[in-house]
């Protein structure tokens, strides 16, 4: 086995960009402030110097325009990485992503591939208030034709991009801005990762915690606390929000007979709704109790820390909820 | 002027053939629509033939062409097989988009014909991206993008114009100003109605031309394409034209006077060009009759091809939502 | 009780617009082709003549611009009805709806109301292919701050708009273009309707069919067939997709112990996912069998009729599914 | 010229007071940020004071003002209580948005100050709509909308300009061209960098002015507002200015030379205006010192007010997602 290295989430993404650009000269990065500014979150700092302005392209505020341009470039044989600074601004590019990137292959009878990768910062946790704290994975996960990935760990922050660039189909990658500075250990040779499967991060027998994105480390932390109290939780990171790998979490539920789905997005019509529905449909008779959900409160996220914290599930909320579910 | 001298009989006849083919093809399509052989939205190009034919003749086979949902004319002028187009509108597997797209979504990658886009203005950013790719790939490839006066009011027009000029990419924007966006006259959609005046705001070389006059369109398009190839910069060409028929088959045409339509029909591009050819002795009455007969035969074959086509198996419905091969 | 009158779905909407404009001079209608064209689907035909161009405003193709303008007008005391021709184009206005209309009240600490009503045509069924056949109710139903209504019946097509215009908060109304020509009987005096509750359209004891939009009449028809075979289905129209009235369907499930959720939208991360989740969470122990779903196939909708039909649940699919569920 | 003659001592001192208040307020905010009293994104207006002060003094209390996330200056110039602004940035209930919005979302309906909008360009359509409402309501009300050079590249700029000119509504677009959109210099965002040249493409009366010169801005704004009131038409004013500080507190300023910043600091609008007042004997050195002292006191009070403010109860998190009263 290879050595472990300490790395921030930010650095993990950056290395992936760097490596993919070195490997394939069809790859280029375009987005607002990715070049001269060094990336809104300093992810691409230094890359402009390394690759020059043709491959690290600063673009004007024109989300629809440059995302569409990325689609066009992909159609024409390039491998663009389009950075939509954060998901909050992705609505402006939604038409391009949903009506073009997601439909062209099918609508053209298989003629036109759109091998674009769209990365966006996502989530809550920096007191940025209503218009800048969205968790909109559910929108993207609804749309056939897209592959939707959520990088809930450092390995995935690094590996998903590398794999996505091999995909003939459009891939959306959600990155979690609240985790950028977080340091973790990953294998020094960690590279491309599987992008069709969910992952069991911790095995357990009492309950399945099913989550993604910023929920992953939170659930792992909760599982540790729960273990101390004698509750053995299995933690599953969905990773691929579309097409969803249900086998992994169904197998888990068939083993533990109980599940809690945890996500930061608003509760209604969310990823967790879909997970619960699939368990209902395919593992109903394995359940000892109803599956429950801990999700984002359905409110435009407010600015103050205490209200922001109250808007999404925290580790203690997960712990408490599991205890209530198992020891009512 | 110069142009008129250059035009030889063979080329003149070829272009007339194209215009007549488009005209008859559209008339036949309308007929097939009333017979319910064609369904969905059907937008005809009758009256605007000189634009597609005049512009596309200025391109090479390597160049890219993108259009709207009113794209039969562009597809035909581009050399997409009329049989494949008709089969597409019949919804048959032999259609140029395997029957999945219908009238609004004609695609033919082998002809570098990229739709067939039904979201107004949605293909402009894509065109910019294809031109960007050509620049990066150092290919001598112009991307030509047709759109309407209505489209020019969308934000994507602004973003695409700006991006193309900023990046200096070889794209030809062709605005087909037929004075109406569905039933909304241009005075209700643009504060400045000479649409060529929008170009200078982006520093893009711009021109307007009488879109009912094939020779004028040819000359303007050739000049534009020449400039693009020489400079690598975008060009914006407004073709002032008129659609003789309703917006689509659902249109009662409440918004314009019959007399206005009649007035414009006097400028019909086909008799005009025909007369020119006759006057210049580039064609004979007999040759015109031959073209009409040949076109009739082509269309008869197209219909037969559509009729004889096969329906896709329902079981194949979800083919090409994602690619069937992982390497492209 | 009042008389019944026969009315098309189109006419029902039109009467509501007419009545609301007569009652309140703050109300105006804006949208593409609502005036001179008479409405893309002839819904507002004649209204321009009645109310003049200040109150029936044709707008340019600028979905973000005019939807945002509607939000501004609402902030400033007007009662705009914004028609986004169809949901397919709403992505271009999504930022305005989600980041502005939905957040302003909360984000301003209760200062700013946005009493806008946004109507859009929605759904499949006219062979309009991938870019024009979307069912995107799930996106809107995910977003707090919005009231999201689905007019699955003629009474609601007429009544929901009247009620929505009384709301201090932004209301989205989905109308189903495939139903426009459909005639039904409604009470002649039918007016404003409740817009907080789901509705039991048919009582039954064997199974709950939970649906909305174009699923409503389909489920009613299926229930009639099922009754002929001795299966007594209860049919529930969700009507209000946000905030969702769960009490009505939970009560139904507690009675029937079985449920099938039917919708035309793509299955994953949909309205049905949410309904199933709530039943899981709150009526799990009342269930005799897992709740099932019949949803849209996850594919960009293709053009040919047989494939289009295969893309969404049809009456026979519902009947068959229920029979399989009850008599396995 | 004429302007300079008209300015009396009292008014001159009031305006100087405003500029100094904004400057000191921003400096203090930065300080509070480093103390973690203020969180989230913080965008300072230092260097650009003459724009907000010069434009807003030309408006009446009835007029509407909309701004971006860099809006402290506009709020202060508009007369929003500095205490309420500071409390807002402290996240307290006494803030002008009840603490929900923070720095990027200042609102004060009593001052007709409508944000505080953090999606770049998202408020332009809203401004057009408010102006449209004023026109419909026959109110003598100008709507003034501030935005940046970056914003002008967004599609919504194009749509809003066109709509305002088409509809002839009383809106004043003020582009604060500070040469950068975050870290992207204007040469990377606009193909035509004299942004006032965009106005004629819409037939909108346009002008550019030295935004570092209060008197020049005042004169230009007064002329613009006068024209708007007289004609009811939109006006587009570009104020060329510069931000002395980083884009936000997260900005390492890699994209510009220190020397460039120093060069611009020589054009600091505050000493320039101060010198003018001194030279014209409209103020004495002692009076300037008094203003500084008064401002210091105001800011001290604002901080104390913020400190003493109350945190909203977590239980009230979901207040105002929907209105609490049904009639507005
Ligand atoms: C974004 C979007 N909005 C609305 C529509 C509906 N629509 C289809 S064609 C059309 C008019 C377009 O006019 P123009 O661009 O002038 O092209 P023309 O049809 O005249 O060729 C409209 C409003 C659409 N397809 N896409
Ligand atoms: C639609 C959108 N895209 C991106 C951002 C991120 N962002 C915030 S401010 C900014 C730069 C805006 O520049 P400009 O309009 O010139 O205003 P300035 O900050 O210079 O005052 C960017 C890219 C955003 N808030 N909204
Ligand atoms: Mg047109
Ligand atoms: Mg700027």
Taking the C-alpha atoms of residue C168 and residue C156, their distance in angstroms, rounded to an integer, is 19
D2 falls in which pLDDT band (50, 70, 90)? very low
Q: What is residue D74's predicted lDDT score, i.e. its pLDDT?
A: 98
Taking the C-alpha atoms of residue C285 and residue C277, their distance in angstroms, rounded to an integer, is 13
Taking the C-alpha atoms of residue A143 and residue C134, their distance in angstroms, rounded to an integer, is 10
CB-based contact B319 A110, cutoff 8 Å: yes
Give the three-class secondary structure for D179: coil
Picking from C91, C142, C299, the nearest residue to A270 by CB comes out as C142
CB burial of residue C284 (10 Å; 0-12, 13-18, 19+): middle
| Residue B234 counted as domain residue | yes
Q: Which residues of C touch D (CB under 8 A)?
A: 28, 54, 59-60, 62, 64-78, 80, 95-96, 99-100, 105-113, 115, 144-145, 147, 166-169, 243
A48 C-alpha vs ligand 4 centroid, how far in Å?
21
Nearest 5°: the CA angle B163, B166, B167 is 85
User: What is the pairing mode between strands A27-31 and A79-86?
Assistant: parallel
D68 C-alpha vs ligand 2 centroid, how far in Å?
9
D191 falls in which pLDDT band (50, 70, 90)? very high
- Considering chain B, what percentage of its residues have pLDDT values greater than 90? 96
* Closest-CA residue of chain C to B246: C37
In this structure, the residue with its CA closest to atom 20 of ligand 1 is: B181
Average pLDDT over residues D215-242: 98
* Closest-CA residue of chain D to A66: D154
pLDDT, tens digit, 9 for 90 and up, residues D205-228 = 999 999 999 999 999 999 999 999
Q: What is residue C2's predicted lDDT score, i.e. its pLDDT?
A: 76
Ligand nearest to the Cα of C61, by number: 1
Q: What is residue B88's predicted lDDT score, i.e. its pLDDT?
A: 98
Q: What protein residues have CB closer than 5 angstroms to ion ligand 3? A: B 148-149, 178, 181
Q: What is residue C190's predicted lDDT score, i.e. its pLDDT?
A: 87
Cα separation values, C16 from C23, C35, C164, D121, Å: 11, 16, 11, 34
User: Catalytic pick from C19, C132, C142, C221?
Assistant: C132
pTM of the model: 0.98
The boundaries of the domain holding residue B18 are 9-306
* Closest-CA residue of chain C to B116: C131
Chain B residues in contact with A243 by the CB 8 A cut-off are: 322
| Residue B253 counted as domain residue | yes
In sign, the C-alpha dihedral spanning D46, D51, D54, D56 is negative
Residues 6+ apart with CB under 8 A from B159: A60, A62, A64, A65, A66, B124, B125, D153, D154, D155, D158
| Residue B313 counted as domain residue | no
Residue C47 has, within 13 A of its CA and on its CB side, a CA count of 30
Ligand nearest to the Cα of C89, by number: 1
Q: What is residue C59's predicted lDDT score, i.e. its pLDDT?
A: 98
Q: Consecutive 10-residue runs of chain A (328 residues): their mean pLDDT?
A: 91 97 98 97 97 98 98 98 98 98 98 98 97 97 98 98 98 98 94 97 98 98 98 98 98 98 98 98 98 98 98 98 94
Taking the C-alpha atoms of residue A235 and residue D188, their distance in angstroms, rounded to an integer, is 46
| Residue D326 counted as domain residue | no
| A306 is known as an active-site residue | no
* Residues near ligand 1 (Cβ within 6 A): B 70, 118-120, 147-151, 176, 178, 180-182, 247; C 32, 61, 63, 85, 89, 92
Is the per-residue pLDDT at D1 higher than 70? Answer: no
User: What is the pairing mode between strands A240-242 and A147-150?
Assistant: antiparallel
Is the per-residue pLDDT at C264 higher than 70? Answer: yes
For residue A243, cis peptide bond before it (omega within 30 degrees of 0): yes
Scan for tokens 């045509």, then name that residue: C121
User: Catalytic pick from C11, C32, C63, C246?
Assistant: C63
pLDDT, tens digit, 9 for 90 and up, residues B106-160 = 999 999 999 999 999 999 999 999 999 999 999 999 999 999 999 999 999 999 9
Q: What is residue A33's predicted lDDT score, i.e. its pLDDT?
A: 98
Full DSSP string of A157-170: HHHHHHHHTT-SS-
| Residue D4 counted as domain residue | no
| Residue D123 counted as domain residue | yes
Q: What is residue B218's predicted lDDT score, i.e. its pLDDT?
A: 98
Taking the C-alpha atoms of residue C165 and residue D68, their distance in angstroms, rounded to an integer, is 30
What's the total number of domains in chain B? 1
Is the per-residue pLDDT at D6 higher than 80? Answer: no
Q: Establish whether residue D150 lines the binding site of ligand 2, counting it when its CB lies within 6 angstroms of any ligand atom.
A: yes
CB burial of residue D106 (10 Å; 0-12, 13-18, 19+): buried
CB-based contact B128 A105, cutoff 8 Å: no
D5 falls in which pLDDT band (50, 70, 90)? low
Is the per-residue pLDDT at B5 higher than 70? Answer: no
B2 falls in which pLDDT band (50, 70, 90)? very low
In sign, the C-alpha dihedral spanning A225, A228, A233, A235 is positive
Average pLDDT over residues D102-113: 98
- B163: tokens are 């991006």
Scan for tokens 């663009």, then name that residue: A80
Cα-Cα-Cα-Cα dihedral of C179, C185, C186, C187, to 10°?
170
Is the per-residue pLDDT at B311 higher than 70? Answer: yes
Longest dimension (CA), chain A: 60
Is the per-residue pLDDT at B328 higher than 80? Answer: no
Cα separation values, D209 from A147, D54, D215, D236, Å: 49, 11, 10, 11
Q: What is residue B237's predicted lDDT score, i.e. its pLDDT?
A: 98
C1 falls in which pLDDT band (50, 70, 90)? low
| Residue D317 counted as domain residue | no
CATH code at position B285? 3.40.50.970
Average pLDDT over residues D152-175: 98
| Residue D323 counted as domain residue | no
Average pLDDT over residues B222-232: 98
Mean of the per-residue pLDDT values of chain B: 97
The full set of domains in chain A, from first to last, is: 4-187 (3.40.50.970), 199-326 (3.40.50.920)
D147 C-alpha vs ligand 4 centroid, how far in Å?
8
Cα separation values, C138 from A243, B205, D68, Å: 17, 44, 30
**Min distance A184 CA to chain C CA atoms (Å):** 31
3-state helix, strand, coil in chain C (%, to 5): 40, 20, 35
Cα separation values, C52 from C28, C30, C45, C48, C82, Å: 10, 12, 12, 5, 16
Is the per-residue pLDDT at D293 higher than 80? Answer: yes
Mean of the per-residue pLDDT values of chain C: 97
Taking the C-alpha atoms of residue B197 and residue D190, their distance in angstroms, rounded to an integer, is 17
Q: Which of B308, B306, B311, B312 is nearest to B31 (CA)?
A: B306
Cα separation values, B5 from B227, B275, B287, C11, C287, Å: 21, 15, 20, 59, 83
Of C66, C121, C129, which to mutate for an interface test with B (greatest number of B Cβ within 10 Å)? C129
- A94: tokens are 């939604």
């Amino acid at each position: 086995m290879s050595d472990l290295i300490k790395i921030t989430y930010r650095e993990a993404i950056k290395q992936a960009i760097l490596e993919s650009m070195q490997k394939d000269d069809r790859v280029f990065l375009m987005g607002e402030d990715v070049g001269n500014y060094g990336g809104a979150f300093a992810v691409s700092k230094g890359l402009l110097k390394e690759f020059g302005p043709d491959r690290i392209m600063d673009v004007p505020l024109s989300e629809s325009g440059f995302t569409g341009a990325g689609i066009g470039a992909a159609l024409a044989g390039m491998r663009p990485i389009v950075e939509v600074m954060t998901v909050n601004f992705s609505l402006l590019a939604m038409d391009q992503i949903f009506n073009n990137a997601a439909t062209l292959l099918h609508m053209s009878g298989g003629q036109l591939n759109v091998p674009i990768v769209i990365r966006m910062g996502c989530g809550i946790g920096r007191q940025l208030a209503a218009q800048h704290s969205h968790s909109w994975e559910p929108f993207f996960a609804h749309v056939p034709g897209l592959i939707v990935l959520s990088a809930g760990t450092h390995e995935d922050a690094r590996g998903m991009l590398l794999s996505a660039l091999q995909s003939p189909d459009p891939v959306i990658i959600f990155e979690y801005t609240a985790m950028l500075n977080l340091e973790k250990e990953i294998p020094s040779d960690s590279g491309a990762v599987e992008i069709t499967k969910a992952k069991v991060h911790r095995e357990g027998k009492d309950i399945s915690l099913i989550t993604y994105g910023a929920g992953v480390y939170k659930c792992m932390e909760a599982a540790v606390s729960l273990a101390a109290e004698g509750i053995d939780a299995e933690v599953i990171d969905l990773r691929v929000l579309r097409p969803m790998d249900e086998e992994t979490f169904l197998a888990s539920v068939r083993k533990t007979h109980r599940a809690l789905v945890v996500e930061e997005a608003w509760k209604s019509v969310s990823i967790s709704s879909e997970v619960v529905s699939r368990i209902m449909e395919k593992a109903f008779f394995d359940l000892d109790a109803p599956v429950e959900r801990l999700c984002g409160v359905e409110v435009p996220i407010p600015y103050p820390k205490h209200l922001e914290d109250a808007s999404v599930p925290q580790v203690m909320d997960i712990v408490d909820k599991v205890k209530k579910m198992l020891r009512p | 002027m110069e142009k008129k001298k250059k035009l030889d009989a063979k080329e003149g006849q070829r272009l007339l053939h194209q215009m007549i083919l488009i005209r008859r093809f559209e008339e036949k399509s309308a007929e097939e629509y009333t017979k319910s052989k064609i369904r969905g939205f059907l937008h005809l190009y009758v009256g605007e033939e000189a634009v597609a034919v005049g512009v596309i003749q200025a391109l090479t086979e390597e160049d890219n062409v993108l259009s709207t949902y009113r794209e039969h004319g562009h597809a035909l002028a581009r050399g997409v097989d009329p049989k494949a187009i008709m089969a597409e509108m019949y919804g048959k597997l032999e259609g140029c988009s395997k029957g999945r797209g219908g009238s609004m979504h004609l695609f033919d990658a082998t002809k570098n014909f990229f739709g067939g886009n039904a979201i107004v203005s949605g293909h402009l950013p894509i065109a910019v991206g294809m031109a960007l790719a050509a620049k990066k790939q150092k290919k001598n490839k112009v991307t030509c993008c047709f759109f309407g006066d209505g489209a020019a009011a969308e934000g994507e027009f602004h973003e695409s114009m700006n991006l193309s000029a900023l990046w200096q990419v070889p794209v030809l924007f062709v605005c087909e100003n037929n004075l109406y966006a569905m039933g909304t006259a241009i005075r209700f959609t643009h504060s400045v109605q000479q649409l060529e005046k929008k170009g200078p705001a982006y520093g893009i070389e711009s021109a307007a031309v009488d879109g009912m006059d094939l020779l004028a369109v040819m000359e303007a398009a050739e000049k534009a394409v020449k400039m693009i190839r020489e400079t690598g910069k975008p060009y914006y060409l407004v073709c002032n034209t008129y659609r003789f028929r309703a917006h689509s088959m659902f249109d009662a045409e409440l918004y314009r006077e019959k007399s206005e339509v009649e007035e414009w029909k006097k400028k019909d591009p086909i008799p005009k060009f025909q007369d020119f050819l006759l006057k210049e002795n580039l064609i004979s009455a007999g040759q015109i009759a031959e073209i009409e007969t040949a076109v009739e035969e082509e269309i008869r074959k197209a219909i037969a091809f559509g009729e004889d086509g096969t329906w896709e198996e329902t079981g194949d419905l979800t083919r090409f939502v994602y690619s069937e091969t992982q390497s492209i």
